[in-house]
Amino acid sequence: MLSIVNIKQTENVQSLAGDFLVVAQKAAIAAYPLIGKGDKIGTDKAGTTAMREEMNRINMNATIVIGEGEMDEAPMLYIGEKLGTGTEPQVDIAVDPIEGTTLVSKGQDNSLAVIAVAKRGALLHAPDMYMEKLAVGPGAKGSIDIEASLTENMKSVAKALGKDVRELTVMMQERTRHNHLMKQVFHLGAKVRLFSDVDITGAVATAVDELDVDILVGTGGAPEGVIAAVALKCLGGDFQGRLVPKSEKELMRCKKMGISNPHALLTIDDIVKTNDCFFVATGITDGPLLKGVRRKRNNKLITHSFVATAEQSQFVEARHNVQDT
């Protein structure tokens, strides 16, 4: 916790990391009473309201560039919404107040409150559609190519990490569309680790040694891809993506958001055009990266968060006095 206080002494976007830690914690605490209650909409509303209220207290001039839709589609943290007190610094925000609303509503693992922040104009304005993703940690930076097969990438990553390819662990979402990827992993004698939802966790896991994940691969939401790319930019890892528009409407949406070639390979530097950025996540339910919100005696709630900047990363456990949960 002390190191976050030290970060705030600098005059850059990363100086806001401590403030946004509180934002993520407040969202997770707001969602906590709804765990297992079957109320996806209520969960999203609770987390979003808590985030908005806290972000509007921060001294910044912020714009949501990845949120919950356009202004007429989602009245909560919509794309283009302005937040903060209006003072410097000028920042762009990619946010998912509750990543895994279905998980929260069903009382399942691996839901998060998650935010990525960068200086103004530095984040890809990814439309809400699918993106092919390939992510690795710092040891394999520069060794991936999303235009090559997973087999080729696994061999390249294994060489970079000094491992036998059979020692690799490849994380992917458990979906039929990924069956061909699983077959390639099994063919090389490596290990698959599957998850149901929230691929941001899998991407971050590649850069956290204790989690023993070497590669994240698969097709998932493009907005989440941008958030994951920010995290890996801070952690020294690598990320590549490629949008997968499935209709003329989605192609037009790409053009509207300034993406002239929707099928182009996107490197981590294409997605996050700065090192002045940070990533914050707080667990709502237990997952491989973070513990969920826990209740202790005397109305105390415990939160577990992860904060990453270009200068450092850290896990933060905090105790909160909460009366009405």
Q: What is the pTM of this model?
A: 0.93
Domain residue ranges of the chain, discontinuous segments joined by +: 2-121+277-321, 130-271
**pLDDT single digits (tens) 57-107:** 999 999 999 987 654 454 478 888 999 999 999 999 999 999 999 999 999
> Collapsing DSSP states into helix, strand and coil, what is residue 220?
strand
Residue spans of beta strands (DSSP E) within the chain: 61-66, 82-83, 90-99, 112-119, 130-136, 169-173, 191-195, 215-221, 238-244, 266-267, 277-283, 294-296, 300-309, 313-321
Class of the CATH-defined domain 130-271 = alpha beta
3-state helix, strand, coil in the chain (%, to 5): 35, 30, 35
Q: What is the mean pLDDT of residues 276-299?
A: 94
Q: What percent of the chain has pLDDT over 90?
A: 85
What's the pLDDT band for 270 if we cut at 50, 70, 90? very high
At 285, phi and psi to the nearest 5? -115, 160
Least confident of 72-76, 279-283, 288-292: 72-76
Tokens encoding 105: 């509503």
What's the pLDDT band for 128 if we cut at 50, 70, 90? confident
Class of the CATH-defined domain 2-121+277-321 = alpha beta
Tokens encoding 318: 């905090």
In the prediction, which pLDDT does 299 show?
81
The angle formed by the CA atoms of residues 1, 108 and 297, to the nearest 5 degrees, is 50
Tokens encoding 143: 């060794």
